[in-house]
Structure 1
Amino acid sequence: MRDPAASACKSSSPSLSPAPGCWTCCVPCTYHWFLQELGRYPDFPLVFVQGTGYWEYLLQRRGLDVVAFDRNSIFPPEMRYTDITTGGPEILEHFPDRALFLAWPDADESSRFSLDCLAYYRGHTVIHVGELLGESITSNPWGQSTSRDFQLALAEDFCCVKRIRLPNWPGQVDSFSVWKRKSSQLVLCDGAHFQYVDTNLEEN
């Protein structure tokens, strides 16, 4: 079934004003693939950081267990697609058994939102949608969606076990990536230290 919001956005340039409430940094018309991909991981109840709750609404319709939160007040309740808990990154301490989903959480390099989310998150799986180091055509090599400090912290404590290039708006180079937390225990092997990572994604 064709999504009306996706159809509206498909014909809109990101430099213009699209249909109210349907624009996202991640291309909305890819949501069928997005739902199918996340649906492959039944053991990944998700906690989202979002604005209108559109992605969460679509996932909930497919039976996925999703909790959404956001601390901004840009979108009034009547523009939201689902219930969104008002709160900051500290709320993540209460969801260590869920995967953390971040899609374009930072507006610029000065933002600490993604880094704070990572600091409070105690779980084992981070799902990132956006640009990463070396995957941007802007002058900032770290991209437009998460800060340098966040990406360094993510790579220090987590290992990327899956990455897929996404369709995107002009001027963006988005990817979908899954990161698993490294074990804190170091293993010495052939003169180098290694950390165990569970690469099992529990796919159907």
Structure 2
Amino acid sequence: MTGQRADARRNYTRLLAVAEEAVATYGADASLEQIARTAGVGSATLRRHFPTRHALLEAVFRERIETLCTRARDLAGARDSRAALLAWLGEVTAHAAAIRGLAVALTYDMATDPDTAHEHCATGRLTEAGDPLVRRAARDGVLTPGVTIADLLALITGIALATENHPDPAAEASRLLGLTVAGVSPGRS
């Protein structure tokens, strides 16, 4: 955004603020045309700043994804690798279940070339942040062999999508994550 004219920066900021509200209300399928109208710009201006719905969702969730990435880095040095991984997975699940549209944004990322996680996409950034936690848990023998960070993010995304219309999506997602964890990382005896 640096190097843009002042009016372009204002349009970007206004579009992003309106998009955040629209996605919170209507989810990832919020009307792009309505976002542009509410922001007081034309659809061409919206497309210049956000050429695709996916680009708009990336911008809407950028700060939340960065918070989760920072949390993964903070947990990387924890003494108990299983507890660290589970704490992070719980936080990712809570965010994906509670923040409308985030799980759909993650599925957009997964639907593109899954072998090419781009650092700018939410899933790519979460993969990069969570991978050290997964590798350490696997090395410590507290994770079922063969489980990858991509597997875990796909499970979380599925849980969030499955609980989206539940009366308490975050609580239900947490419960389902607990059931999943029993399968991928059984507790120590």
- TM-score where L is the length of structure 1: 0.26
Compare CA radii of gyration and give the structure with the larger one: 2
Q: Which has the higher contact order (CA 8 A, sep 6+)?
A: 2
- Relative to its length, the structure with more helix (as a share) is 2
- Relative to its length, the structure with more strand (as a share) is 1
